Structure 1
């Protein structure tokens, strides 16, 4: 086997193995990291397959492995990415009609993971001033960011501010009245989430969850169990609620992962991205390493007016701006995702494991 044959074979093996590692249902970060780069792997598979057909085109063993692996990888990545293209039917329909009633049931949300050490605070304030969203969810907000954003407070009389110095602070600003607001530390005692109810101008109350779980990574957490459990706790609660629901935040997970799709089925919530595009928000500074980490999920009561990725303001995330309308349609009841197979059992196991581990950690640090 010459050098070119060895190179193509090694390339095919790498892309093939990397493409399917995420199917291993282990929560270790070095497995779960392969949930993320499926678009990049799809590009690598396509480029490698074209190059092999042009320069190698050897159909004998073991070179036959190269087109086989690359074709399988390309097909699998395409299947994962396809829902987030314009070729797929939208999961949340577009709101076409405009009227005073529609305006009174509208809500515009801006989500921005600002990167705690980012110093471009005035740019974020200007972005908020330009788009005038009804609610603003700032992630990685610490005391410095709370003070920097104090200028927007007159426009947002309803607030829940949780500035933290651990990159998991959460600053929530609303023009809409709030009630039943709760700050929750559901899995880890230093990772907050927000639950509240917001009143639309029409008088309708909606449920809102703001989340930012910890990702699996060598610098954050060695496994994804805690992240998955927090999302599934929210999803399980959302399934039992009546009325319109919005879940938003940096999920530290991609739209096509097993966990995010499981969350959709457990919660019964819909993804406005489906049928519209990837809207990749991370990493803002490296175009070749981008995937959708910042999400908005909605119940079937909503339609979409617009969904936009906004310009970067010095963070490693792009902000997301979404405009929704509460427009319930009885015919859309059939569109609600339902749990499949052992989804509910899997969700329960993940939640139980994460809660048990967190309780053990708490017990370990208690004084004797």
Structure 2
């Protein structure tokens, strides 16, 4: 019996070490998005990988130096991500942004229209503006007379709606990715962008961002972005967009979609100035909306 228990203990310990090594590889590889898009996709697993490494490190117990180093590193990652989740930022005064992926199969939802109006949004960013929900733009035209709509297919369109007057013609990206309108904000002209990125590797997110960057770099003045990035905030693709536009994610990190029950914070608002965000209902979409209130850049 003692020999059997000894072998079972060794097998469990060996399995634990294999799991710990696998977690560590996934966790470290997820920081390598700058080297290959496949590694950026692993950033999606950063929280479960860090949690798994922490649990396994504490269970293994020996050798102490290695175990506690691994536990400390895993706990640090979780603390940093947890702090970013909780940080709401200061109250923003000046501009209110409504961000929403409508879902292409959705219709022009009256409850959504009422929510947008009640939010007092100055700028509205839509993704998946399809043939089915396109009438929404006309229904909001009295409130938002300045609009830029970019159609890329029957289901894929992006729109920017503004109370502020437009100061020049709007822009569309060469392929699916962005709609933009330059408007006269409270403190001067501001670019308002609606962005929708592809799914990450093995899909075309990295290539799409590489095509967008020259257009983003060429924009003059402050930029405000509302978008469905199909990537977590710490992903390399998201950080490239933020760096190119001189913006930061607004408010706390909020899950906006739950594929297979997994909470993913992939819808975000980026501005040069801090502010707060709140989550809005689905209104027939598979994405929750966001309302961000920020200081006017």
Give TM-score, length-normalised by structure 1. Answer: 0.66
Give the unaligned 5+ runs of structure 2: 1-6
CA contact (8 A) 1:168 1:212 kept: no
- Aligned mate of 2:246, from 232, 251, 268: 268
**Which of 254, 258, 261 matches 1:284?**
258
2:133 counterpart SS class: helix
Could you tell me how far 1:308 is from its partner in structure 2? 1.0
Note closer, same or farther for the CA distance 1:174–1:6 as it changes in structure 2 (3 Å cut). Answer: same
Displacement after TM superposition at 1:46 (Å): 3.5
Shift, 1:145, TM fit: 0.8
8 A Cα contact 1:181 1:196, kept in partner: yes
User: In the aligned structure 2, how far is the partner of 1:87 from the partner of 1:160?
Assistant: 32
Aligned to 2:150: 162
Is residue 280–residue 290 contact of structure 1 (8 Å, CA) maintained in 2? yes
| 1:254-333 to 2 correspondences below 5 Å | 254-273=232-251, 277-281=252-256, 283-284=257-258, 286-287=260-261, 289-299=262-272, 302-304=273-275, 306-326=276-296
Matches of 2:216 and 2:126 in 1, distance apart?
A: 21
Matches within 5 A, 1:75-114: 75-79=76-80, 81=81, 84-86=84-86, 90=89, 93-95=90-92, 106-114=94-102
Q: How many residues align?
A: 288
Structure with the larger strand share? 2
Q: Distance in 2 between matches of 1:87 and 1:165?
A: 37
Q: Deviations over 1:45-101 (max 9, x none)?
A: 344444x1xxx53439xxx8766545433434544x26615579x5xx534xxxxxx
Please state how far the C-alpha of 1:116 moved relative to its aligned partner. Answer: 1.3
Check 1:13–1:303 CA distance in 2 against 1; reply closer, same or farther (3 A cut): closer
- 1:247-279 Cα offsets, whole Å, 9 max, x none, are 221223322123433444443323323xxx222
**Is the Cα–Cα contact under 8 Å of residues 123 and 192 in structure 2 kept in the other structure?**
no
For 2:199, the equivalent position in structure 1 comes to 215
Of residues 35, 53, 57, the one that matches 2:43 is: 35
Matched, 1:121 2:109: yes
How far is the alpha carbon of 1:160 from its aligned partner? 1.9
CA distance change for structure 1 residues 203 and 22 in 2, over 3 Å: closer, same or farther? closer
| Matched ranges for 1:177-196 at <5 A | 177-186=165-174, 189=175, 191-196=176-181
TM-score, normalization by structure 2 = 0.80
**3-state SS of paired residue (1:209):** strand
